[in-house]
Chain A
Amino acid sequence: MSHQLPPGFRLERKSNTEEFFINMGPQHPSTHGALRLTLRMDGETIVEVVPHFGYIHRGMEKQAESMSYLQYIAMSDRQDYLTAIQNNLGVVIALEKGMNVGVPLRGEYIRVMLQELGRIASHLVFYGCFGGDLGGQTCLLFGFKEREMIHDMLEEVTGSRLTTNFFRPGGSRYDVPDTFIPRVKAFLDHMEDTMKDYERFLSKNIIVLERSIGIGVLSKEDAIAYGCSGPVLRASGVNFDVRRANPYSIYDQLDFDVPVFHNGDCYDRYQIRIAEIHESMKILRQCVEKFPTEGPWRSKEKPVRLPVGRYYSEIETAKGLYATYVVAATTGEKPYRIHTRGPSFPHIGAINKMAQGHKISDLVTIMATLDPVIPEIDR
């Protein structure tokens, strides 16, 4: 009997048991937003997963054509809202390349410190959701507790908790207040202790170990072929971090390691994020020490007008490689086209590779460790 498969499925039928299809999403707590997955099941084993995107496609790239460059910075907040402050920098670096303006040292330190705070905040949400998806709701409370401290600092500096819209070509909107550095210090001291709790709570938890070791293995070759980046790529044994590979801002002057794990399973993807929180704290400690108390925090303000050309920037957000491609067809304040490459899109593209042969509950673990943000995929 030949039956037609739903769109997207293409594996040849192998087993003799009756296969069935399950729809997961778009409103499902563990798809991290409006993502829909259709699963082809053989009993309780996943044969094939097909992701369906577009449930939160907001047409940002179309809107960007009628916006000014500065307005698009606000759009970048709403792509990956967990790392909004990092996305701002991605757009701004592309604009700086076009305008050919630099940033004074104090401005660069402000940038790097906020970047790393944003990275920790995003990884804390990962920690919470990972624990939550495995059934430990306490982790959610844990992760969000420290995240609120970062939000307080972000609010003090940028004026907003989540959608920061902070960086501008040549620096940032405001200088940091005097209380910022002591607050960061206090946060780091607090976090040092708390991280021990965090790790004690999940890293050697038998439920976590059983449900994540050997689950959702992504080989090194596949990770590269599918264009994965960030923690997902580094958990598969590839040492690629834009902060090292193409250093932007002052990352080349700072001393930090790029953690790399080699198994490519869910547990490694969890561990790598914990290791990255430690590395971010290491960077923050250096910044707190070296932070220039005097000096300008931004360069001379200029109208944001880009000459004709194409400008590309890439940064390492908490999720991975975030690239912005700006096309200016006429010299002026409006772009011809802006394209954003978000890190989560390729990760979901590779989900079929990871989930095949596992159970549905493992798919939930895999989704949690990919840590996708759907509005950034759909834009």
Chain B
Amino acid sequence: MGIINLAPKILDPIPGGKYVVNAIDYVVNWARANSIWPLTYGTSCCAIEMMSSSMARYDIARFGSEVFRSSPRQADLFILAGTITRRMAPAIQMLWEQIPGPKYVIAMGACTISGGPFIYDNYSVVRGAQNLIPVDVFVPGCPPRPEALFHGLLTLREKILKETCRNPWHEGEPKDVSTMDRYREAAKTWAALEEMKDEQMAEARAKFKEEHPDYKSAFKPIRVKKPDFPEVERVPAKRFGMTQLELYTKLHAKFPNVTVHTRGEDTPEDVVANLPADCPLEVMLEKEDYLNVVEFVKNDPEFKMDYLIDVTAIDYDDHFDMVTMLRSLEIGHKIFLCVQLKKDFSIDEEKRPTSLLASVPTISHLYPGAEIKEREVYDMFGIKFENHPDLRRIFLDKDFVGYPLRKDFTHPEMIRRPI
């Protein structure tokens, strides 16, 4: 729009020229404000509400924005629908740079405004899109209803209609204040405001007390009486396949080192026998037995654990508990194998948070589905899987420092949750 932006310079000195400039403004703004084409972009929940708003019920076409463009080069509007993570941030900046100006940005939903539900104890979410690219309109909600998005769209329309070629649209400058805890900052401001109000009201309050010494507030808090609900006993779901005790005794006979969590003076058999029907058996293993046990339960005709539900881990002070959840699709029973992995404390204390502290053999040759699950455990806990075909970080960047799901994990961008 370079030529149009020159119009005021040329036309304003001419008598009556400013009316021509106003007319140009009117036409250009009319065209821009009535056909804002958004970019097809969405990462999470807000994207579904954005889709809903473009469908028959809400019909975004009423506002001239029905043409969702898949290419940023054809779009005018960037609706940031969904959480922005640090890994996605460069992609978003690149998309924004590819949109030809004048371009507008709507930050849709709590996540793109401030981080939303992901403010505290988080190492991966960007707290607010305005840290990455200039934002024109913020639409609050988690997720905002389609009506709210339309309100945002109409607000943007008003903003566009106010533009003139005397003060043309220009690209903003992104700022970087992502570590700021907006909620706590705001809370401080509110507290200061309340204090100021208190001070201003102090005189009037004292005066009122003098004039009405026996005044009592007529306000009574309303208490809604909740109906009495009965106590209901939980009915455990039906069990299929072998009972937990049968599973345990068979496994124990084959591998004598297999135990279960016990408390007090209970024997393992007592603990297993008292498990509710829908509580899967969780056995403790030695690391050396792990591969043999998995192979055994997979191939044994009585167990037939052919289906891997999940692999996960739990971090404790001195060890990891790695839990492999298996089930038999045919017979219906489940077994959880919990391997205790002692942390390698021979590593320097300073280097411990960034180094792999334990290792365990992979089971990805038995269950191909375990490959990505083990990558997740490696990524989050720093447990090495021996002989894994492709052991890379899966959710975080390859240069990310530390392993987030360890209890001692710290990250410079992380804000602790206030208690």
Contacts and interface: CB of A to CB of B under 8 A. Distances in A.
B371 A349 contact: yes
Contacts of B42: 33
B85 interface: yes
Contacts of A147: 52
Interface stretch (B11-19, B157-165, B200-208, B277-285): B277-285
Given A82-B48, A96-B234, A56 B229 contact: no
A56 B309 contact: no
A136 interface: no
Interface stretch (A40-48, A296-304, A355-363): A296-304
Interface string A221-251: 0101111100000000010100001111000
A74 B407 CA distance: 23
A21 interface: no
B356 interface: no
A7 interface: yes
A327 interface: yes
B120 A66 contact: yes
Interface string B113-145: 000011011111100000000000000001101
Interface in A276-306: 296, 298-301
A88 B309 CA distance: 19
A299 B229 contact: yes
Instruction: Name, among A103, A339, A348, the residue most crowded by chain B CB atoms within 10 Å (CB to CB).
Output: A339
Contacts of B226: 301
A62 B405 contact: yes
A114 B314 CA distance: 33
Interface stretch (A137-145, A183-191, A206-214): A137-145
A256 interface: no
B394 interface: yes
A288 to B, nearest CB: 23
A161 interface: yes
A58 B125 CA distance: 6
A26 interface: yes
A148 B48 contact: no
Given A78-B45, A301-B229, A29 B40 contact: yes
Given A29-B70, A97-B279, A227-B309, A104 B230 contact: yes
Contact of B45 (A26, A151, A375, A378): A375
B105 interface: no
A27 B369 contact: no
A102 interface: yes
B71 to A, nearest CB: 10
B190 interface: no
Interface in B46-100: 47-49, 51-52, 55-57, 70, 82-83, 85, 87-88, 91, 95
A56 B314 contact: no
Contact of B237 (A60, A248, A348, A378): A248
A245 B332 contact: yes
Interface residues of B, number: 86
A194 interface: no
A81 B48 contact: yes
B367 A56 contact: no
B26 interface: no
B87 A54 contact: yes
Given A56-B83, A62-B121, A336 B88 contact: no
Interface in B334-368: 336, 367-368
Contact of B278 (A28, A246, A350): A246
Contact of B280 (A26, A29, A104, A312): A312
A33 to B, nearest CB: 6
Interface string A122-147: 00010000000000000011001101
Instruction: Name, among A58, A60, A78, A102, the residue most crowded by chain B CB atoms within 10 Å (CB to CB).
Output: A58
A224 B330 CA distance: 11
B396 interface: yes
A102 to B, nearest CB: 4
Given A33-B47, A144-B55, A66 B306 contact: no
A325 B85 contact: no
Given A97-B278, A163-B45, A296 B121 contact: no
Interface string A18-51: 0000000011110001100000000000000000
Interface of A: 7-8, 10, 26-29, 33-34, 53-63, 65-67, 74-75, 77-78, 81-82, 96-97, 100-104, 125, 140-141, 144-145, 147-148, 151, 161-163, 170-171, 222, 224-228, 238, 240, 245-248, 252, 296, 298-301, 310-312, 314, 321, 323, 325, 327, 336-337, 339, 341, 345-346, 348-350, 374-375, 378
26 contacts: A7-B390, A29-B70, A54-B397, A55-B85, A56-B82, A57-B396, A62-B404, A62-B405, A65-B121, A82-B48, A96-B234, A97-B279, A141-B56, A148-B52, A162-B45, A162-B48, A162-B143, A170-B229, A222-B368, A240-B329, A245-B332, A296-B230, A325-B325, A346-B369, A346-B372, A349-B371
Given A58-B122, A314-B309, 7 more contacts: A33-B42, A33-B47, A59-B125, A75-B117, A102-B235, A226-B369, A339-B310
Of all A-B residue pairs in the complex, the 8 with the closest CB atoms, nearest first, are A227-B369, A54-B395, A144-B55, A102-B232, A102-B234, A299-B232, A81-B45, A57-B395
